[in-house]
Structure 1
């Protein structure tokens, strides 16, 4: 049977995971708006009521995917760093899972929200335009694989910082412990206990 300590540990794990995932997820819509406002314009030609790329081999659609990948990469790195700064020893697994799940959800939300900006006007223009008319498209992803550019960098940044930065154990603030030099009255004294019958220097009393 799991004792109170085990239940508290499991509860802390779930709370850390859920809160981390939720916070990261909530940043997705903001990134989606930023993406939609900064993508290069892509022109479509209306042919029999259907929008077709005016330049199928152009750099526009590729630029849209690349812009999303770049923004998601930066967002993922920032989330990883923020997660590391907010976390502590004992929270690593929960934080990593939260960054992975939240980063994936945030990337999907960013894509969906960004795609909806200006979508109604684009669809209306397509429906009312005559053949040969050109309309400007909206942000959309052709390479769905760029969605991983958020969760993977977030997890990688957290893991790298965990390897490079040495965290203090819980409750340790760097105070000198037993046997370490300490400053008393301007002189250094060894606080290690002296052997029985001798002083700290090993001399007979």
Structure 2
């Protein structure tokens, strides 16, 4: 299975990249005990910023950007993580996904996540990220993960799950959707099965 994480973090080291890595580890932890072999890749948008801007102007992606787009559209599961800017996803994050064909992620399982300095922006998952991927016709897992600065290293309390628990739950949900999708028959298989059913029919 191909798992791709898109990280729109700008700094080095990046909390956004760290969250993407932790989420990818959680997906591996869900799928590998079931016998699935998972190949992971992280797309760092910071490294593609100039190429993204040029592509928006010229319409022609250079090879590294084209490879990143192909990786995202060819993934069996996608993790999308952005820092919060002005109460929404970053411009770099949105610019990259503006380059994705609206039908290219149809039915693709996606886990959305974001990082920010304060928990006040946690609703960015619901008012910005989910609508974006709904437009792209992806299937977004129920649990989105928002990590504020104070969430790192906390285990939660009796009333709320800590960040590690939310990461595990979201990773488990994405892994389950990826496994279910891989178990679905290919379109050609569905047609063959239908043909077999029709050929078995007997008419009086």
- Range into which the TM-score falls when normalised by the shorter chain: under 0.3
Structure of greater Rg: 1
Greater helix percent: which structure?
Answer: 1
Greater strand percent: which structure?
Answer: 2
TM-score normalised per structure 1: 0.24
